[in-house]
Amino acid sequence: MTRNTGIILIILLINLSCEQSIEVKLPSVDEKIAVKGLFSTDKILSLKISHSKHIFDTTSTFHLDNVVVDFYENKTFIETLENTGSIYRGLKFVSTSGFKCNEKSTYSINVYATGFGTVFAENTIPEPIQILIVDTSTVIAELPGWYFGHLGPYNQIRPLLECRIRFNDLPDVQNYYTLQVETQTGQLPYVSYDQIVEYLLNNEDANCGWECLYHYKKVCFSDKLIDGEDYELVILLDEELLKGKTYFKLYSLSREYYFYKKSVMQSFDSQLDPFAEPVQVYSNIQNGVGIFAGASVSVDSSIVFPLPDIN
């Protein structure tokens, strides 16, 4: 009896330890050309071309062949952009003539590649909203913990530069903005405690995004609450990073540019919440995926001197 029981137990253990491989056949999805082209009036035109991939495709290379990107201004052919990238770093197409886009002009591209249909995209750059003045003053405040790049420990009370960027919003026109602060050494992080922007953030008419390469926040917002008004956007800068000339760049975004930025941040935020609904990133590419959108810019500058030591 004991021997039979032992044999039965051995058979049960063998059966329990068996594994069965199940192959799941997922429906095939046609690959599409993917375009990422965010351009502005202060930079030489460039855009990236890749292709969509299956969810289980883990390869890091792109297999687009014979890619041609034709670029137009107001339906007039300007040039064929040149590829300066690779199958490993991605295909980056740039203007070899150093072309910079113009405000209130419409730009379009046709993208051709072997095995893919022709891809088309079009976008109009809005009129820039001029910065009227930038007022600065020294305040004593605390930087939040996310603020990278400054010297010293996080959340330390220190002298900061309060900047009030004043501009006049065009009435009866949907306007979208983003602010960028730069020195000769690169872009600067900033903190925005602006009440209007905070309200818009809470009501999804603004977004405050991370740029992973530089670890800075960049606020994007609509003119929903400031239509046709003189407005001051208030930000704080860390004095440790302020050396020499500082440039304040107010970008006027096209509608498509803003919706893309907004959806990217919403998609990022949804990944951090397991109960969030999936977010479809905005695309304006015909017969493909991605974004092709422009912005104009108004620039003001200030000579910033070192702030006094509070000690």
Shared domain for 79 and 179, answered yes or no, is no
Shared domain for 184 and 136, answered yes or no, is yes
- The pLDDT of residue 62 is 63
- The pLDDT of residue 212 is 36
pLDDT < 70 positions in the chain: 1-29, 54-62, 87-89, 142-156, 193-217, 272, 303-311
The Cα–Cα gap between 267 and 255 comes to: 18
Last residue of a domain, one of 95, 124, 153: 124
- The pLDDT of residue 10 is 61
pLDDT for 205-239, tens place per residue?
655 554 433 334 577 888 888 899 999 988 888 77
Last residue of a domain, one of 105, 124, 143: 124
Shared domain for 163 and 102, answered yes or no, is no
Shared domain for 119 and 250, answered yes or no, is no
Query: Is 11 a member of any domain?
Result: no
The Cα–Cα gap between 71 and 91 comes to: 16
What's the domain range around 242? Answer: 131-280+294-304
- The pLDDT of residue 25 is 60
HSE (CB half, 13 Å, CA atoms) of 69? 27
The whole-model pTM stands at 0.80
- The pLDDT of residue 166 is 95
Shared domain for 67 and 100, answered yes or no, is yes
Query: Is 14 a member of any domain?
Result: no
Last residue of a domain, one of 72, 101, 124: 124
